[in-house]
Structure 1
Amino acid sequence: MARIGYARVSTLDQDLDGQVARLKAEGCGVIRSEKVSGGSRDGRAELATVLEFLRPGDELMVTRLDRLGRDTRDVLNLIHEAEQRGAHVTVLDPHVSTRGEMGHVVLTVLGMVAQMERRFIKERQREGIERAKGSGAYAGGKRRLDRDRIKAMASAGSGAAAIAGVLGCSRMQVYRVLREA
């Protein structure tokens, strides 16, 4: 039986150290971590690796349930997948495990709370952006593409596929920029 820890934060500027230290203190021999949103499973390679290597009797540990995800269905599916492999899931704060039947009920409720919290965060973010736009303080997000370079490359005769290849973006993004011009 192995204790496998999973730590996650949503953004690159957040710190994983506290979660990793707590998981080590709980006896996790293997800890996988990543900096990616918990809104869905997309781009969560470390979580996929953990699930793939769970064996019967193993225990997947997270510091809080929202580290597994913020979508109730996703969280319940992750727990189900772990159990299909004969493993248990343990959340440290509050301490809940799928070893007992009551743990499933508590984890379902916690999953719903995490999803509701994500909706509140998105709503507050949307309201903040609207207020900032109203006061003229919001100019939008940081532009990820060099629009002048796209236009210059197109003027020099490069096609959308070639521009996209050089800049590491999709052809649709190139077309959108050229349409704006």
Structure 2
Amino acid sequence: MTKIGYARVSTIDQDSELQQQRLHAEGCQIIRSEKVSGASRAGRSELATIIDFLRQDDELVVTRLDRLGRDTRDVLNIVHECEQRGAFVTVLDPHVSTRGEMGHVILTVLGMVAQMERRFIKERQREGIARAKAEGVYKGGKARLDHALIRRLHGDGLAASAIAKIAKCSRMQVYRILED
């Protein structure tokens, strides 16, 4: 039985170090992390790698359910895929595991709450932006990546991996910018 930890933060500005420390303290032998939104499974290659790696009686561990996903259907699909491989999912806060029958019910409810919370966050964000626009103080979100730098480095002949390292982003982000 292997305990595999999964840490996720939504943006490159955030740090997953606390999640990784907690997963390590819980006995996770392998810990994978990524910086990508939990709104969908798109671009979550580390999670896909973990699921592919899971074997009978392995355990996928996350610190909170929203680290696994913000959409109830996604969370339930992830749990189902893990179970298809004979593995379990454990959420540390609040402590819930699919090892027991009640774990499924609790995870479903928590998944619905996480999805609802995401909708509330987006609604508050839209309201705040509308208010700021009405007051003439809205400047838009800050650019997280230097698109011009990425294009220039590509024009200089650098590979996506090298560009990603210099721009401090993922290769996938480099590819997306170069597609535009």
> Do both share a fold (TM > 0.5)?
yes
Summarize the Cα distance change of 1:142–1:22 in structure 2 as closer, same or farther, 3 Å threshold: closer
Aligned residue in 2 for 1:168: 178
Aligned residue in 1 for 2:3: 3
TM alignment of 1:46-65, pairs within 5 A = 46-65=46-65
How much is the aligned-residue C-alpha RMSD, in angstroms? Answer: 1.7
Could you report, residue by residue, the CA deviation over 1:102-146 in whole angstroms, capped at 9, with x for unpaired residues?
000000000000000000110011001001100111133457767
Aligned residue in 2 for 1:104: 104
TM-score under structure 1 normalisation?
0.79
The residue type equivalent to 1:169 in the other structure is E
In structure 1, C-alpha distance between the alignment counterparts of 2:125 and 2:35, rounded to whole Å: 20
Per the TM alignment, residue 168 of structure 1 is displaced from its structure 2 partner at its CA by 1.6
Aligned residue in 2 for 1:28: 28
Summarize the Cα distance change of 1:127–1:87 in structure 2 as closer, same or farther, 3 Å threshold: same
Per the TM alignment, residue 169 of structure 1 is displaced from its structure 2 partner at its CA by 3.2
In structure 2, C-alpha distance between the alignment counterparts of 1:61 and 1:110, rounded to whole Å: 15
TM alignment of 1:11-160, pairs within 5 A = 11-141=11-141
> Taking every aligned residue pair, what percent have the same amino acid on both sides?
74
3-state DSSP of counterpart to 2:179: coil
Gaps of 5+ in 2: 149-174
Q: Identify which range, 10-19 or 75-84, moves more after superposition.
A: 10-19
3-state DSSP of counterpart to 1:94: coil
TM-score under structure 2 normalisation?
0.80
3-state DSSP of counterpart to 1:168: helix
The residue type equivalent to 2:10 in the other structure is S
Q: Which protein has the larger Cα radius of gyration, Structure 1 or Structure 2?
A: 1
Summarize the Cα distance change of 1:60–1:145 in structure 2 as closer, same or farther, 3 Å threshold: closer
The residue type equivalent to 1:66 in the other structure is D
Equivalent pairs counted in the alignment come to 151
Gaps of 5+ in 1: 147-164, 171-181
3-state DSSP of counterpart to 1:55: coil
In structure 1, C-alpha distance between the alignment counterparts of 2:5 and 2:123, rounded to whole Å: 31
